[in-house]
Structure 1
Amino acid sequence: MVTERISELARLSESLADCERGRGRVVLIGGGMATGKTALLDALGDLAGGRATVLRAVGSRAERELPLGVIAQLLAGTGRSVRDRATSPLDARALEEISALLPTERGPLVLAVDDVHLADPESQQVLLYLRRRIASSRVLLVLTEWERPDLTREAPHAELVRQPDHRLDLAPLTESGVAELIGDADRAATALALTGGNPFLLRALVDDGLAVGPRFRRAVLDCLTRWDPDFLPVAVAAAILGEQASRALVADLLDRSTRAVGPVLDVLESTGLLREHRLRNPDVVLASLGAAEAARLHARAAELLHRRGHPAVEIARHLTAAGEVPGRWAMRPLRYAAEQSLLDDADLAVRCLQLALPAAEDERERVEIRAALVRAAWRLNPSLAVRHLGTLADRGDLSWRDAIPVARLRWWQGEQPCDLLRATREHAGEPQPRDAAELRIAAEWIHGALPEPAALDVGDTRWQRTAQLMGAWTQDAPGEVLRAAEHVLQSCSGDVLPEAAAAAVLALDHTGHAERAQRWCAAVADQARRQGATTTRALISAVRADMSWRRGDLIAAETQAQEALQLLHPQSWGVLVGLPQSTLILVNSALGRHDAAAELLARPVPDEMAATTFGLRHLHATGRHALATGRTLAALDAFERIAARMRRGDPAVPTAIPWRSDLAQTYLLLGRRKEARDLVAEQLGHDSGGARLRAIALRVLAACSEPRQRVAVLREAVQLLERVDDRLELARALADLSQAHSELGQLGNARLVLRKADQMAKSCQAEVLPHHLRDHLDTRPEPTPTTSGTPLLSEAERKVAELAARGQTNREIGRRLYITVSTVEQHLTRVYRKLNVRRRTELPAELPRLDPVTDDPHPTPGPAAADAGASQC
């Protein structure tokens, strides 16, 4: 198959026609290695067909010492032999006799010699003799050679290829030619990038399914080993140097002159294997190297780059690939590269420091490298950082820069490094204000109030106020939380502590700044993804899961929590494993997957987690699972343990867990009604906790109240939950409201609200509706008004409302009911007022005719689901 060679085929066809007319021609086909010269000779044979005799031969480096080897190939099959004439040197009589053996008397003759530059000298002499006499004969001589413009041709090769009648230079294929050859225009650009348009490599790529596979790798190596012994070493040097490859560096790496290396690079470039001296597929070439040779070349490359003043990161990549420190000179670029790549390539930073550590000459240098290694390794995996901690935790002479990664790692392990902070302050003085604020926020988010906060006190008033973020969250001061949180998060363009960023995002979310929290969460996550900071990505995924849970988006919460645990193994989380694991337990309990929740609860967690804020989260999830599975006493134990911790009044532990409401609900299930009411009253008397915790408390208050009081209380809860957009709790509140309407005999309202609860429960995919309420969903209201009064909605209003609830526009409704758009708008306005809704998405798909005498004329709809516990109370 010949691709993108139309003009070349036309020239060959023209030359063949001249040959038939008795005008001999010489055609020289040039080009890089494997650019399609042989395929063009194959096409020439097809063109000749029965019009001419075609004799083929190919030159070979291995047969250059075989006199008349190429001529023997041409004569093969003709019954003639040059075996007795293979003497050297050939005189004029011998040349005439050998040329006479060619079957020119049979008509047009095509002599096609591939790789003529590798033909033996005697064969080249015969072909040259023939060429001098070809003008008036019916002979077409077609020769191919691959391009080496710098190569001085040997005689008679130079004379043989001088001034041919036609010269055809084959370049690599263009993108359109690549698309034609592979039969896939969409992947042509990728294939071109991998092969440089080389037809030989392209066919191998097609054989591998347009992916780099064994055939393609073999083809690349064949190109580098088949034609010239210099090609592979030069390609290896280019692969080792990568982006730094140049003529001078390749020559230095091979201990050769630029004059010797440059032409080889040009040939490889013309073939498509290289692009601007950079190998297109360096991995294929490097895989063919032995480990020792690769290490030697990388070490040599690092030294060359160091001498030439290249950036430290470039030098360090070669040193880490070599796996050795070849001299004291290498320590500086290794440490500089680790510092420079910490934010963008933590893996390289770790590898640089791991290589440098054994080569450190004194204890001070070892301490600095080890601390930097802990800082870099933490970004990839806290467990990896722990392995490098060594004796750092016990030292009292660290700088704050070295002490910070050690302190945060100990917090992750559940420890309180007060001794380290105190000793560092005595040795190094006051920490930087930002560092102190972020450390305090991170520590208090994990553990609550610091035992010795003075170690992190600074004179900077602004940062000192920022450091009190957790206290502002606890006291439910939205304005102060917003100021402090955004002060922290605006540092995200630098190396802000991810724990501090996570705490700031959650503080915003819990204090009514949900949109800001989501924006900042996305910004931190995007930055972590760009920088390859796995630990930060995992932490932000866990934060996102918690935020999704609070909005009743159970599937998103589950996905995000699972992603967090996939990015970091549970053992790497330390005490913070309680954040994603608790969310998963809560989600599975709400989804009715009690076995999955039980399996999560059975997973081991660090003993130290019990004393942290994440221990409280885990304990809360344990209690909720116990309630969902009917183990009331187990739930009581969990919630009372939370209450004991919270009543100690730790000023830095946010009241984000509805522990009073959960404990009150448990008391109700046990018949301890007065204790339940006291707890709810206590919760409602607190300013902290926000609208969500107040709404949850109101649900429990309604369960403690008389039936006629419940509707008003639950309506307030519904309004609050709609404001904070918690669909799961909203569903539960609506289910309770439906039950309250039912107990008052307001069956129409009960059904309407229950359908809304069911819609929201389905949107959450939660199975929380009690069975005795779920049974009412299939009971349709009577389609006609009751005898006690007129229907709440007229027939026209009901039809308009039902179509609007199904998603039809006002214009579509008007066309269907044969009324004007203005009339549709008027009907919807009255429907919204009568049903106390604000938008068409709050309308159920089927509307009953409500009796205003027996039913409440102002039901409170809204999507929701309900849990059995509160409804049974």
Structure 2
Amino acid sequence: MSTRPPSPAPTTVSDLASLDTPQLSVLGLLLLGAEPDEAVVAAVLDIETESARSAIETLRATGFVDGRGTLVESHRSRLAGALGENRVHALARRLLTHHVAAGTLTLPIARAVAGSGVRSDELTEFLCSRAELADPAEAVSLYGDAERVGRLDDAAVLGYAEVCALSGDLDTAVGLADSVLERSASVSDADLASAVRVSAAGAAYCGMIDRSAELYAWLGPHRVGADASVAASVLVVAGRIDEAQSVLAASAGAPPTATTAGAALLATGLVQSVTGSANAALNSLTRALSLPGRAARPRMLPDSPAAITALAALHCGELAHADAVLARARDSDRPGSVAINRHHLLTAWTSMVRGDLAAAQSRLDALEVESMHQRDLLFVHGLRVGLARRTGDNAALLQAWAGAQGVLAEYSVDLLSLLPLGELWLTSIRVGEPARITHLVDDAQSLVRTLGEPAMWASALHWYGVQASILAECPADLMPHARALGEAAKVSAYAAGLAGAGRAWLRVLQGDIDVAAVEDAARTLDRIGLPWDGARLAGEAALRASDTRVATALLQVARALRQPAPAATGSDPAVVPGPSSPGTLTDREAEVAELLVQGLTYREIGSRLYISAKTIEHHVARIRRRLGAESRSELLSMLRAMGHGHPSDTARS
């Protein structure tokens, strides 16, 4: 029977005391990552090759080094203390000097030497050069080692800031970038532009795009260099279109790389989104994403080009376009990328707008919200209130609204934040606290006015304004938004659909229920990517209709828009066997509905109908599925619109 060789005994101080000076020095070199190469050991320790060979063989024989020449792991914990800090430090410096002179320094040795506390410009330079080639997470560690052993030059400080930002550590990134900006008089224009880009990106992620714009305004067109397109994009998003165009005009001469060409197309697309047509803007933005080539390391930008393009598509109702852009972005995102959350949030937003609330909620639930910065958190809160509003979950709505207050207190409005702001605006009215967000709504309206009411961005905001007026039961407040949508309709099919829906809403509020007009407006909203809004319009019209047949017809429209088509889902879970028309109830269900609308509990209904409360619960669930109601309050509204609970009918109960 074979037996394993005995494991080396743990190293003790007495074990080490039995070793001579060359042997202890070799142990120190191995602790620092050196190979047990007799020639290297001899050169570093300045001893004869034979002495080096003898020392290595002794260490193998006594169990300090294994057969592969590697220091046995169990010995490491005691070695550093036993050898002494001074000896390890001296050996580290000699090892570094040898490898630098021979041009054979490796990263493991460099990091081990750095860990010993040796300060060296050569070591700093080596670690920084390796950091430039590493992925952001490893580069952060390498720059940290380099900073501990020497002084970083401006280029290294900015490299360190960039990888910290890309890894999500914005506080460290902005602090490093600001340390360069503080010495602006002695810093090159190229380094100043890099420092501004990192600092501006940090501000944008924290929901302060006005700060980002101020940084680029301070830098000016004459110093921005190759980052002119980035500066222009920030200025457009902040509402400073004239400055953006001036920066672009002064940016000729930038090297025609794929990166600069892509940034230029992105900036051009943003300018077109304000001054030109939505189609031209989307074309430029999408082409910016399609250029070949990919940098070894991404640059930290104020926003992801894919996110900007997807948001532009969402503002036009181009949900399929947004989905395609975001899917490609998610596939190419590097692990740990600072843009990953942004792409997932916008994907969830697209699902919510389309009416796939389960998919939106699932994607939102999978995200680690605790690590997000303010801009992403604004979308988190927008999604939460939007989903709660669409499902009629008032408790969740109140909770989500309360959770959003911290972000709302700090955020500065920009073009890319109008969608979550709109959802929170509607929520503020639903919960009776519009004053908490009035300042941001005013800022948003001022922003689009300053930009000349660009149809691509302003239409969505005005549609939220229409809905806000409806919720607040202030038809007069609806008129300015309806007029703005009417103007935008001249250049935008999306705005035209919203304008038509706005007119239909106004007529509904005035009690003029035209089934054909309401259905046309509702289905138009569905076609331009707002099926839930279309269903809500039809449902609200049904609730206000005095004619039961009209109400039922409109409820069927609402139900059809709320439920995905069977071709898309494979089945329609809302369709259940029963009466010939999906909008009609069985006699027993009608009896239950009548009493439910009157406010009776399941137990009370069961007592009147001589059936159990559990059976009543099953009846209510079937009624809700049949009508496509997504909440109890919506179910009750639908039943009232169908005639249940009217005074003339109550005798039946």
Q: Which amino acid aligns with 2:228?
A: A
Matching residue of 1:392: 180
Aligned partner (choices 499, 514, 519) of residue 714 of structure 1 = 519
Kept in 2, the 8 Å contact 1:224–1:235? The answer is: no
| Gapped regions of structure 2 (runs ≥ 5) | 584-625, 642-653
Q: Distance in 1 between matches of 2:550 and 2:62?
A: 87
Matching residue of 2:199: 409
Matching residue of 2:241: 449
Kept in 1, the 8 Å contact 2:519–2:557? The answer is: no
1:468 to partner: Cα distance = 1.6
Structure number with the higher helix fraction is 2
1:746 to partner: Cα distance = 4.8
1:383 to partner: Cα distance = 0.9
Kept in 1, the 8 Å contact 2:216–2:231? The answer is: no
Kept in 2, the 8 Å contact 1:392–1:406? The answer is: no
TM-align CA RMSD: 5.2
Structure number with the higher strand fraction is 1
Cα distance change, pair 451–560 in 1 and its aligned pair in 2 (3 A): farther
Matching residue of 1:204: none
Aligned partner (choices 277, 285, 288) of residue 76 of structure 2 = 285
Matching residue of 1:259: 53
Q: Distance in 2 between matches of 1:220 and 1:544?
A: 58
Matching residue of 2:271: 471
Q: Distance in 2 between matches of 1:727 and 1:448?
A: 34
Q: Distance in 1 between matches of 2:293 and 2:314?
A: 18
Instruction: Spell out, residue by residue over 1:674-726, the C-alpha distance to the aligned partner (whole angstroms, 9 max, x if none).
Output: 552563353154249977766565554333225542444334433542663x5
1:643 to partner: Cα distance = 2.8
Q: Secondary structure at the match of 2:514?
A: helix
Kept in 2, the 8 Å contact 1:302–1:318? The answer is: no
1:660 to partner: Cα distance = 1.7
Q: Distance in 1 between matches of 2:239 and 2:330?
A: 24
| Gapped regions of structure 1 (runs ≥ 5) | 9-28, 35-218, 764-804, 806-836, 853-860
Matching residue of 1:438: 230
Cα distance change, pair 606–735 in 1 and its aligned pair in 2 (3 A): closer
Q: Secondary structure at the match of 2:252?
A: coil
Q: Secondary structure at the match of 1:470?
A: helix
1:587 to partner: Cα distance = 4.0
Kept in 1, the 8 Å contact 2:542–2:554? The answer is: yes
1:351 to partner: Cα distance = 1.0
Matching residue of 2:611: none
Kept in 2, the 8 Å contact 1:667–1:675? The answer is: yes
The reply on whether 1:321 has 2:108 as its aligned counterpart is no
Map 1:316-715 → 2, pairs under 5 A: 316-325=110-119, 327-341=120-134, 343=136, 345-352=138-145, 354-355=147-148, 359=151, 365=153, 367-380=154-167, 381-394=169-182, 395-396=184-185, 397-410=187-200, 412-413=202-203, 414=208, 415-416=211-212, 425-426=221-222, 431-432=225-226, 435-445=227-237, 449=241, 451=243, 453-456=245-248, 457-459=250-252, 464-474=264-274, 475-488=276-289, 490=291, 493-494=294-295, 495-498=298-301, 499-501=303-305, 502-511=307-316, 514-515=319-320, 517-525=322-330, 527-530=332-335, 532-533=336-337, 535-554=338-357, 557=360, 566=369, 568=371, 570=373, 573=374, 578-590=378-390, 592=393, 593-603=396-406, 607=410, 609-613=411-415, 616=418, 619-631=421-433, 639=441, 642-649=444-451, 655=457, 658-673=460-475, 676-677=478-479, 679-687=481-489, 698-705=500-507, 708-715=513-520
Higher Cα radius of gyration: 1
1:437 to partner: Cα distance = 2.0
Q: Which amino acid aligns with 1:846?
A: P
Count of residue correspondences = 558
Cα distance change, pair 311–562 in 1 and its aligned pair in 2 (3 A): farther
Kept in 2, the 8 Å contact 1:447–1:612? The answer is: yes
Instruction: Spell out, residue by residue over 1:475-527, the C-alpha distance to the aligned partner (whole angstroms, 9 max, x if none).
Output: 45235423333324647722244414232343345446655644553554455
Cα distance change, pair 536–850 in 1 and its aligned pair in 2 (3 A): closer
1:536 to partner: Cα distance = 3.3
Kept in 2, the 8 Å contact 1:425–1:431? The answer is: yes
Q: Distance in 1 between matches of 2:323 and 2:77?
A: 45
Q: Percent identity?
A: 13
Q: Distance in 1 between matches of 2:334 and 2:114?
A: 24
Instruction: Spell out, residue by residue over 1:742-765, the C-alpha distance to the aligned partner (whole angstroms, 9 max, x if none).
Output: 8451566466556556767xx9xx
Q: Which amino acid aligns with 1:403?
A: A
TM-score by length of 1: 0.52
Q: Distance in 2 between matches of 1:560 and 1:332?
A: 43
Q: Which amino acid aligns with 2:424?
A: T
Q: Which amino acid aligns with 1:393?
A: L
Cα distance change, pair 746–601 in 1 and its aligned pair in 2 (3 A): same
Matching residue of 2:571: 841
Cα distance change, pair 643–275 in 1 and its aligned pair in 2 (3 A): farther
Map 1:135-150 → 2, pairs under 5 A: none
Q: Distance in 2 between matches of 1:454 and 1:389?
A: 25
Map 1:219-238 → 2, pairs under 5 A: 221=10, 238=30
Q: Which amino acid aligns with 2:571?
A: T
Q: Secondary structure at the match of 1:658?
A: helix
Kept in 2, the 8 Å contact 1:541–1:560? The answer is: yes
